[in-house]
Amino acid sequence: MNTLNFRPAHLRTAVLLAALTLGGAMATPTWAATAAARGQQDRPVVVQEDILLFDPVPGTVYLNGGIGQTEQQQMRKDAPNWPLRMTFSDKSSDEFVANVKLKVFDQGGHAVLRLRSAGPMTYVQLPQGEYRVTASYKDQLLTRMVHVGPKGTDANFHWLV
């Protein structure tokens, strides 16, 4: 069993934000459960017809979204509760992008988060420390070292596509 290092308020906020984003209704208590808790790692959990939850690395809590103004506003409002806040954009058009392949590694080189389709905004609950982030969009790889301090950090990834 993994021990998560986050305040319960963060989970409640993430669940509430997800519910608001999806029309204001939570389907079942499945929202609070993860694939890892059910021993189904690397397999999606169907919550509602068009909603899949993944737990790519057990124990890492993240929020991914930001498509549309309403969702962006909700995520920005909740941003202070997330130690690592990442945004992804196309430098040439100054537009947000999604479908980013994202990996976050701790100082020991262990993957703490892997997403096949991140963005345009991805927030992650991580302890303070140094992390290596790799983000790939349209076969262009960007790598950055980020320091997560007491107030968290923002990491912006921009591609010239």
pLDDT at residue 17, as a whole number: 45
Q: Answer yes or no: are the C-beta atoms of 47 and 27 closer than 8 Å.
A: yes
DSSP 56: S
pLDDT at residue 92, as a whole number: 87
Q: Answer yes or no: are the C-beta atoms of 38 and 45 closer than 8 Å.
A: yes
Q: Which residues pair with 118 in a beta bridge?
A: 100
Q: Where are the domains of the chain?
A: 8-159
3-state secondary structure of 125: coil
Q: Is the domain covering 8-159 a CATH 3.40.50.12780 domain?
A: no
Tens of pLDDT along the chain (161 residues) come to 434 444 444 444 444 444 434 333 332 223 333 333 434 444 444 443 444 445 555 678 999 998 889 989 999 999 999 999 999 999 989 899 999 999 999 999 999 999 999 999 999 999 999 999 999 999 999 999 999 999 999 999 999 97
pLDDT at residue 161, as a whole number: 79
Q: Answer yes or no: are the C-beta atoms of 160 and 91 closer than 8 Å.
A: yes
Q: Answer yes or no: are the C-beta atoms of 103 and 113 closer than 8 Å.
A: yes
> Regarding beta strands 140-148 and 129-137, do their DSSP bridges make them parallel or antiparallel, or are they unpaired?
antiparallel
